[in-house]
Amino acid sequence: MLNRTADNVARATPEPLAKRIRGISDKGLAWLFISPTILLLLAINIFPLFWAIYLSFTNYRANRPNEVVKNLGLSNYRRILGDQDIWIAMQTTAHFVFWTILLQTVIGFTLAWLIDRKFRGHAFWTTIILVPMMLSPAVVGNFWRFLYEPQIGLFAYAVSFLSGIPPTNVQMLSNVELAPWAIIIVDTWMWTPYVMLICLAGLRSIPEYIYEAAEVDRASNWRQFWSITLPMALPFIMLAVLFRGIENFKMFDMVNLLTGGGPGSTTEVASITLKRQAFESWRTGYSSAFAIILFVAVFGLANIYVKALNKVKQR
Amino acid sequence: MKSTLKLALGLASAALASTAVSNAAHAEDLTLCWAAWDPANALVELSKDFTKETGIGMKFEFVPWTNYADRFLNELNSHGKLCDLIIGDSQWIGGAAENGHYVKLNDFFDKEKISMDDFVPATVVGYSEWPKNTPNYWALPAMGDVVGWTYRKDWFSRPELQKEFKEKYGWDLAPPTTFDQLKQIAEFFQKRQIDGKTVYGASIYTERGSEGITMGAMDVLYSYGFQYENPKKPYEMDGFVNSEKSVKGLEFYKALYDCCTPPGASNSYMGEGVDAFKSGQVAMHMNFAFTWPGLQKDENVGGDKIGYFVNPKGPDGNQFAQLGGQGISVVSYSDKQESALKYIKWFANKDVQAKWWTLGGYSCLNSVVKDPKFPSSQPYAQAFLDSMAIVKDFWAEPSYAPLLQASQKRFHDYVVAGQGSPKDALDGLVKDWTQIFQDDGKM
């Protein structure tokens, strides 16, 4: 049947085209098919990257097209690396990445472990837990802003109910100490289910017979957890950490919606600084250099991490 | 049968012809770009007269204030053809003129006998001229605006509050004329129970993302003695931006924020201010005058319950207010410049300007604002007039965006986040602004 169809297609191919195709090797044909995708990737990924690298050595400003573009050499890079505000933004980013990953991994793994017990109604609870992840960040940011509102927000009233502090004093987004934690709480609320899903896949991939063998050897539950569950789920946990790490390093939407980087610059992560430099101050060359530095940092760290992940998987 | 066919053909031709006519009309439609706010709705109403008179249709592209600058500066920078006419912010004028985004209007004004002497001088300098104080016009003053204050007249007039206030501060509870008085009133109302509800002193600008805290802090700093530069030596800022008087002004703004604003008001600008006042949370409210017609009409806080006052005086008796508002310009990338200029000519007309004011826009034409009936035409008209007489504006340089970003950061870091001292903030601002002007080759 297939042969007949192929024959029909071959017969239907116009002779000049058929002749041309016959002259192309399999490899040539493969290139022919993938070339549109490659061209598209070159146009929207590779070219902008090289263009940004070029711009990072200039004083180019996108809002001044008539101005002469000067080559500044490494001046933009020197200025960024010597700029105290940039270092503060990087520290803020590192703070977010560390705490969000820590909390999401611990809570996500715990939830996965509990869900894996397959108790009655676990499918229902899995769906409920996954809901925050399915919401749009814009929606999440906006409704948490209302929840945090000190005069009408439920969060402030809940804290007040538990602690006795007046709700108007629970200023999550205005207080310098609390604002970073307000964002960490929201990000953890939203993305812990994602970590949970990956961990759950890891836990479910552990063969049952290993636990049965451990039971025969009279290993305690604690021992089974440390010697079987955790080591075998570790590559999955590390994968979740990698994904969340990369995502949170470029965290923008949640910070922008909740605090806009404030109060002051307390929650100004690197991506907010980058956006301000690029699209509010229009320092295109300078912000390109900053983007390249961020790219190299994420790329370098991710590579080191992937190597570590491979080592764990080989064990 | 034949006659039916003829009728069908006739109808089809008529339909085709009407489509062609309507397409031709659409081709002439002008698109006007502005911010999405109350005056924009008034302009839509007003522009119907233009369409009636000229047959030129009007389309509008209104963007919320939070994205207004981003959206339209991107449009201009990319030489987009979306806007034929644009009502651009006053601070854009330098960049728009130097980068060729706006059509220079001098020849057109001369030809059509539109004189800038007919407009309020501050609005001509603020909205139309670049370089400032030179007769180079890039816009027609369109919407006068200035930062002023509203207050709860009904609360101020309560005998028990008046009595308590007088006992505490030794003067009558009335709209403040100095910033010290304003702070005393704000302190007096802060966390007070009125009609069973906790109210607060004042709503002031604290927004970080766009221009909010700069517009608010400058309103105080100007009257305290802040100057952008040495009047005798342009771009020399040390000792002017960070003078002792400026430091005191910024310190005052932080004190006002700390003592007397509603909880959580750390990112508050025009919309949040209006919300705070409308919901009966605050006794006083700093905002641009464009919000006043809407507040006056509000059922809960408008009418007899609201009053207006000019930005108060500083310690030395100096009194200034932050200029807002915009001019209307023809975009140089538009293919319909002739029609766009017709709109400007129509908009400059005395009667159109008078109607503009009645619909809720703020006319900048002398014949409208100097009309003897003007001060009594609206309850806020006098406060608007008095405020427009004392305006100052932020830098309108081509680099206004980075200059603004620097002040947003320095002010917010100090006022809201409480980091460093006012001197540190202003010294830092001098450093940032100096760097920006050096990069521009102006220093």
Convert the pLDDT of each residue in A117-129 to its tens digit: 878 888 899 999 9
**Domain co-membership, A115 together with A51:** no
Q: Does A259 touch chain B (CB under 8 A)?
A: yes
CATH number, position B58: 3.40.190.10
Question: Per-residue confidence of chain B (443 residues) as pLDDT tens digits?
Answer: 444 445 444 545 544 444 444 444 455 799 999 999 889 999 999 999 999 999 999 999 999 987 888 899 889 988 999 999 999 998 899 989 988 999 999 999 999 999 999 999 989 999 999 998 899 999 999 999 999 999 999 999 999 999 999 999 999 999 999 999 999 999 999 999 999 999 999 999 999 988 999 999 999 999 999 999 999 999 999 999 999 999 999 999 999 999 999 999 999 999 999 999 999 999 999 999 999 999 999 999 999 999 999 999 999 999 999 999 999 999 999 999 999 999 999 999 999 999 999 998 999 999 999 999 999 999 999 999 999 999 999 998 988 889 999 999 999 999 999 999 999 999 999 999 999 999 888 88
**pLDDT, position A17:** 67
Which of B198, B208, B435 to mutate to probe the A interface, most A CBs <10 Å?
Answer: B208
In a domain, A288, yes or no: yes
Q: What percent of chain A has pLDDT over 70?
A: 94
**Domain co-membership, A40 together with A152:** no
> What's phi and psi for B62, nearest 5 deg?
-110, 135
With CB atoms and an 8 Å threshold, state whether A260 touches B265: no
pTM score: 0.84
Please, where are the H alpha helices in B29-64?
38-54
In a domain, A77, yes or no: no
**pLDDT, position B16:** 46
DSSP 8-state class, residue B125: I
Chain A residues with beta carbon closer than 8 angstroms to that of B441 = none
> How many domains does one find in chain B?
2
> What's phi and psi for B194, nearest 5 deg?
-125, 125
**Domain co-membership, A307 together with A222:** yes
**pLDDT, position B69:** 87
**Domain co-membership, B158 together with B93:** no
Single-letter amino acid code for the residue at B14: A
Among candidates B429, B442, B433, B434, which has minimal Cα distance to B243? B429
Under a CB-based contact definition with an 8 Å cutoff, are residues B64 and B35 in contact?
A: yes
In a domain, A61, yes or no: no
Alpha carbon distance A3, B160 (integer Å): 99
Q: Does B422 touch chain A (CB under 8 A)?
A: no
Under a CB-based contact definition with an 8 Å cutoff, are residues B250 and B182 in contact?
A: no
With CB atoms and an 8 Å threshold, state whether B99 touches A266: no
Which of the pair, A66 or B403, is modelled with greater confidence? B403
**Domain co-membership, A155 together with A270:** yes
**Domain co-membership, A104 together with A43:** no
**Domain co-membership, A159 together with A305:** yes
**Domain co-membership, B225 together with B273:** yes
Alpha carbon distance A180, A91 (integer Å): 12
Residue with tokens 């023809």: B330
With CB atoms and an 8 Å threshold, state whether B412 touches A266: no
Domain boundary among B354, B370, B392: B392
Alpha carbon distance A176, A155 (integer Å): 18
Chain A residues with beta carbon closer than 8 angstroms to that of B267 = 173-174, 259-260, 262-263
**pLDDT, position B4:** 46
CATH number, position A100: 1.10.3720.10
Chain B residues with beta carbon closer than 8 angstroms to that of A174 = 263-267, 416
Chain A residues with beta carbon closer than 8 angstroms to that of B67 = none
**Domain co-membership, A25 together with A160:** no
Torsion of CA A122, A124, A130, A132, to 10 degrees: -130
In a domain, A34, yes or no: yes
In a domain, A73, yes or no: no
Residues spanned by the domain of B107:
26-144+325-392
Closest CB to A63 among B73, B198, B418: B73
**Domain co-membership, A50 together with A178:** no
Average pLDDT value for residue range A258-264 = 90
In a domain, B58, yes or no: yes
Alpha carbon distance B47, B56 (integer Å): 10
In a domain, B118, yes or no: yes
Average pLDDT value for residue range A261-267 = 91
**Domain co-membership, B138 together with B152:** no
**pLDDT, position B2:** 46
- What residue of A is the nearest CA neighbor of B401? A281
Burial, A125: exposed, middle or buried (Cβ in 10 Å; 0-12, 13-18, 19+)? middle
In a domain, B18, yes or no: no
**Domain co-membership, A183 together with A304:** yes
Q: Provide the number of CB pairs (under 8 Å) joining chain A to chain B.
A: 91
* C-alpha dist (Å) from residue A248 to A39, A129, A141, A148, A272: 30, 20, 15, 21, 12
Task: Work out the minimum CA distance from A167 to partner chain B, whole angstroms.
Answer: 10
Q: Does A279 touch chain B (CB under 8 A)?
A: yes
Task: Work out the minimum CA distance from B410 to partner chain A, whole angstroms.
Answer: 8
Residues spanned by the domain of A29:
2-55
Chain A residues with beta carbon closer than 8 angstroms to that of B74 = 279
Closest CB to B267 among A66, A260, A279: A260
Please, where are the H alpha helices in B176-266?
179-189, 212-224, 244-260
Average pLDDT value for residue range A171-187 = 95
Residues in CB range of A59: below 8 A, 6 or more apart:
A69, A70, A72, A285, B439
List, in sequence order, every residue forming a beta bridge with B137; answer none if it has no partner.
B129
**Domain co-membership, B38 together with B127:** yes
**Domain co-membership, B214 together with B185:** yes
Alpha carbon distance B299, B279 (integer Å): 11
**Domain co-membership, B279 together with B186:** yes
Domain boundary among A36, A55, A74: A55
Under a CB-based contact definition with an 8 Å cutoff, are residues B200 and B193 in contact?
A: no
Q: Over chain A, what is the mean pLDDT? A: 91
Q: Does A23 touch chain B (CB under 8 A)?
A: no
**Domain co-membership, B160 together with B305:** yes
* C-alpha dist (Å) from residue B239 to B89, B203, B228, B319: 29, 30, 10, 20
Single-letter amino acid code for the residue at A309: L
In a domain, A74, yes or no: no
**Domain co-membership, B159 together with B298:** yes
Domain boundary among A55, A74, A94: A55
Q: Does B402 touch chain A (CB under 8 A)?
A: yes
**pLDDT, position A22:** 67
Alpha carbon distance B51, B63 (integer Å): 22
Residue with tokens 């006319």: B363
**Domain co-membership, A96 together with A154:** yes
Among candidates A147, A277, A201, A2, which has minimal Cα distance to B409? A277
In a domain, B20, yes or no: no
Alpha carbon distance B96, B80 (integer Å): 13
In a domain, A295, yes or no: yes
Residues in CB range of A232: below 8 A, 6 or more apart:
A202, A205, A206, A210
Among candidates B242, B315, B256, B245, which has minimal Cα distance to B285? B256
With CB atoms and an 8 Å threshold, state whether A150 touches B70: no
**Domain co-membership, B376 together with B410:** no
**Domain co-membership, B51 together with B159:** no
The model's confidence at residue A9, banded by pLDDT at 50, 70 and 90, is low
pLDDT of A27 over the 80 cut: yes
In a domain, A67, yes or no: no
Q: Does B263 touch chain A (CB under 8 A)?
A: yes
**Domain co-membership, B158 together with B61:** no
List, in sequence order, every residue forming a beta bridge with B328; answer none if it has no partner.
B87, B140
With CB atoms and an 8 Å threshold, state whether A266 touches B417: yes
**Domain co-membership, B294 together with B341:** no
End-to-end Cα spacing for chain B: 86
Q: Does A285 touch chain B (CB under 8 A)?
A: no
> How many domains does one find in chain A?
2
Neighbours of B73 (CB within 10 A): 22
**Domain co-membership, A48 together with A86:** no
- What residue of A is the nearest CA neighbor of B425? A264
